[in-house]
Amino acid sequence: MKFVWFNLQPWPHLPDNFREDYRSVWVDIPSRLFDPELAHEVYNTYLDQLEFADQLGYDGIGCNEHHQNGYGLMPSPNLIAAALSRRTSNAAICVIGNSIVGYNPPTRVAEEFAMLDCISGGRLIAGFPVGTPMDTNFCLGQIPALTREKYAESHELIIRAWTEPDPFAFDGRYTQLRHVNIWPRPVQQPRPPVFIPGGGSIETWDFCLDHDYNYSYLSFGGYKAGKSLLDGYWDRRAERGDRDDNPYRASFAQIIAVADTDQEAERLYAEHILYFFNNCLHVFPGFADPPGYRTLKTLKAGKLSQLRKETMELFSRLTWSDLIESGAVIAGSPDTVAEQMEDLARELRVGTVFCLMHTGNMPDWKTRYSTQLFAEKVMPRLQSIWSDHDPSEWWCSPMEERRTNDAASVDAARRPVDPVTVGDGLEGVL
C-alpha cells in the first residue's frame, strides 16, 4: 500500500460560535477572521509537518487547492509543492490537484507541474479536479453549465502540451494558442501519473478508466460511507469489460489519529477533529450546487433537504462517537487503527490512502505524535497488503540519482535527529 500524508491546511483559529454567527466557511468567509501574522506560524508549521512525514517514510506528501476557504489555506498548492520539492527527497509530491478550469491559459498547469517534476527529480503526482462549485464557479467565476466542457478541453491541452514533441496550434472554444511549446518538460515520460479527485458520477469513472488515471475519492465521510462510491467505480470498470482490478487504480482519503490506546486517542484528538466537523464544515448550501454544475442524473439522486430553511437553522453537533461509529474517523491504538485500515483497503480495494493526520486545530506536537505512531506501528503492518500488484503505473517514477536538499540532510548537518524528542510534552497531558 501507499500512504500519503495529507493536510487540508485549515485555519485553526475560527471562533467557537462560527457556525451560528457566520453563514459559510467558504467563498464569503469574513476576511477579518484571518490574521496574516498568525498565518506565518500556521503555514510554516504545516510545511514542517509535511517534511517530517517524508523523514518518517510516508510514500507521499500531499496538498490541494481551495480558494476563499477557512479550512483550506492553499489557493496555490504549487507553491507548497515547490517548497516541499526542495526540502524533501523521497516522498512523492502529490498535488491533488490544480483546478484546471480556472487557469488561463491551462498550459500554466503543464508548465508548473513540469517545473515541480524537474525540481523534485520526478516525484510529482498530478491531480486534475473539476473543482468544487465553491472554488470553480463562485471563487474563480467559471460558468457552471460550461465547466465540464471547459475542463475536458483544458485537460486535452495539458496532456498534449506534455506529450507532443513539437510546437502545435490549439484551437479550442475556451483557449486558443498559436504556439504551444511548453518549456520545461516533465522528467516523467510520457507524463507524470495523474489522479482525478472526483465524486461518484459515471462520467468521472469513465474519464479515469478511459485514460487509465487514478480515481481518487476524497471526502470527509470516511471509509464506511465511501464504500458505495468505490464499489460503483470497480463495478463500472467490470461493466466496461476492463479486467484490470489493480487496487492502485484507486485512492481514498481518511481522517486518522493514532495514540497508545483508544481512550488516549479520544482524549488527545477529539476536540480538534470535532473543531473540523463542527466549525469548519459549514458551507452555505447555495454555494454547493449552482444550477448547471451537476449533471441532471446526479441531481435526481441527491438529497435536497439541506436546502430547506428549517434545516439550515439547525446546527447539529456531532460527537466523537458519531465520528468513530460512522467510520468518518479512524482513531485509537495502533491495533485499532491497523485493523480498520486493513478493512478500508480491502473493502474499498484501494492501493493508495491519503492519510489526513492533521485535522482541524490539532496542535503540532499531537500531530507529530500521531504521525509518528502511524508510521512506526501501523504502516509496517499494512504495507504488504497489495504486494502482488504493481503500483508503478499509478505512482511516480523518480530519477534514480537525484540531489538531496531535504530537511533531513540539512538538519543532520546541524544537529542529530532524535526521534524520541518528538513525544516530548506528552508527559504533562497523559
For residue 199, state whether it binds other proteins (rule: CB under 8 A). Answer: no
For residue 349, state whether it binds other proteins (rule: CB under 8 A). Answer: no
Contact by Cβ (8 Å): 291, 302? no
Sign of CA pseudo-dihedral 396, 401, 403, 404: positive
List the interface residues with other proteins, window 129-158 (CB under 8 A): 137-138, 141, 143-146
Look at residues 160, 84, 57, 59 and name the one whose alpha carbon lies nearest to residue 395: 59
Considering only 79, 225, 312, 417, the residue that binds other proteins (CB under 8 A) is 312
Contact by Cβ (8 Å): 84, 93? yes
Q: Per CB under 8 A, which region of 37-45, 86-94, 284-292, 399-407 contacts other proteins?
A: 284-292
Q: Which helix (H) or strand (E) holds 285?
A: helix 285-288
For residue 313, state whether it binds other proteins (rule: CB under 8 A). Answer: no
> Would you say 302 or 380 has its CB closer to other proteins?
302
For residue 39, state whether it binds other proteins (rule: CB under 8 A). Answer: no
> Would you say 138 or 205 has its CB closer to other proteins?
138
Find the shortest distance in angstroms from Cβ 291 to other proteins: 3
Contact by Cβ (8 Å): 384, 351? no
Q: Per CB under 8 A, which region of 37-45, 187-195, 278-286, 376-384 contacts other proteins?
A: 278-286
For the record, the C-alpha cell of 244 comes out as 484490470
How many chain residues are in contact with other proteins, going by CB under 8 A? Answer: 28
SS3 sequence, 29-54? CCHHHCCHHHHHHHHHHHHHHHHHHH
> Would you say 287 or 369 has its CB closer to other proteins?
287
Q: How big is the CA angle at 224 (ends 222 and 228), to the nearest 5 degrees?
A: 110
Considering only 40, 308, 346, 403, the residue that binds other proteins (CB under 8 A) is 308
For residue 234, state whether it binds other proteins (rule: CB under 8 A). Answer: no
> Would you say 27 or 356 has its CB closer to other proteins?
27
> Would you say 308 or 403 has its CB closer to other proteins?
308
> Would you say 312 or 430 has its CB closer to other proteins?
312
Q: Per CB under 8 A, which region of 47-55, 97-105, 303-311, 334-342 contacts other proteins?
A: 303-311
Which 3 state secondary structure label does DSSP give 125?
A: strand
For the record, the C-alpha cell of 17 comes out as 460560535
For residue 22, state whether it binds other proteins (rule: CB under 8 A). Answer: no
For residue 75, state whether it binds other proteins (rule: CB under 8 A). Answer: no
407-414 and 36-56 helices, crossing angle to 10°: 90
For residue 395, state whether it binds other proteins (rule: CB under 8 A). Answer: no
Q: Quote the CA–CA distance of 257 and 280 in Å, as a whole number.
A: 18
CA distances, 215 to each of 37, 207, 307, 342 (Å): 38, 9, 29, 19
Find the shortest distance in angstroms from Cβ 318 to other proteins: 22
User: Alpha carbon 110 to chain centroid distance?
Assistant: 19
Residue with cell 433537504: 305
> Would you say 286 or 423 has its CB closer to other proteins?
286
Q: Per CB under 8 A, which region of 216-224, 298-306, 315-323, 354-362 contacts other proteins?
A: 298-306
Find the shortest distance in angstroms from Cβ 284 to other proteins: 7
CA distances, 243 to each of 98, 234, 237, 395 (Å): 30, 10, 8, 20
Considering only 38, 299, 429, 430, the residue that binds other proteins (CB under 8 A) is 299
- Residues in contact with other proteins by the rule CB under 8 A: 27, 137-138, 141, 143-146, 173, 284-287, 290-294, 296, 299-300, 302, 304-305, 307-309, 312
